[in-house]
Amino acid sequence: MSESSPKPIVLDRDGVINEDLWGYVTKKEEFKPIEGSLLAIKKLTDSGFNVVIATNQACISKKIINEKQLQAVHDHMSLLVQEAGGKIDHVAFCPHAPEEKCSCRKPETGLLNEIEETLGCSLKNSFFIGDKESDVLCAINYGCIPLLVKTGYGERSLSSKHCPPEERCFNNLLDAVHYVLEA
């Protein structure tokens, strides 16, 4: 691998980077970073990772917010990350509701296709950090390495069928990133 080839890592958003509100983040004031998550992204950036987000946002389909409002939330997230010294390379989101049966709502893998096209690299064997079984399944379906965080829905996901082994379950994003950086 050459020095310049992208080193992608996929993160879920809600419950991983920001507090899951058990609803939707509709405006920037509702985007509350989980302790250590901004530092975790900075550490990834410093280590040469391309940080990309894959997030289900059915709030678009449900018309709770529109794409412009979602973009404003993501601009705010990127700004917070930037202020902490990190960088988010791309945010891929699924705007559909489950009943639309699209090919991008996790655990489907369309968002990962989008990320590969955007970065121009493969996500096979990349780490994928999430808090739900749908994240884990999406990762497995695509040949990524799933890591689970116990923030957000994570504690509940520990009892799910596809939960990663204990050594790949972490208290939060910062702990998961420390594992990634030592891998």
Active site residue 12: yes
Q: Identify the bridge partners of residue 130 per DSSP, sorted by sequence position.
A: 148
Q: What character string, x for contact with Zn ion (CB under 5 A) and - otherwise, covers 141-170?
A: ------------------------------
Interface with Mg ion in residues 113-142 (CB under 5 A): 131
Interface with Zn ion includes 104 (CB under 5 A)? Answer: yes
Interface with Mg ion in residues 12-71 (CB under 5 A): 12, 14-15
Which residue minimizes CB distance to Mg ion?
15
CB of 152 vs Mg ion, minimal distance in Å: 5
Do 123 and 129 form a contact (C-beta atoms < 8 A)? no
If contact means CB under 5 to 8 A according to the sort of partner, which of Mg ion, Zn ion, none does residue 84 touch? none
In the complex with Mg ion, the residue whose CB is nearer, 6 or 148, is 148
Closest CA to 73 of 86, 88, 85, 51: 88
Side-by-side strand order, sheet with 90-94: 90-94, 50-56, 8-11, 127-130, 145-149, 169-170
> Residue 70 in 3-state DSSP?
helix
DSSP 75: H
Residue that has been written with the tokens 């940080």 in this structure: 51
CB of 153 vs Mg ion, minimal distance in Å: 6
Q: Would you name the residues annotated as active-site residues?
A: 12, 14
Residues that bind Mg ion (CB under 5 A): 12, 14-15, 131, 152
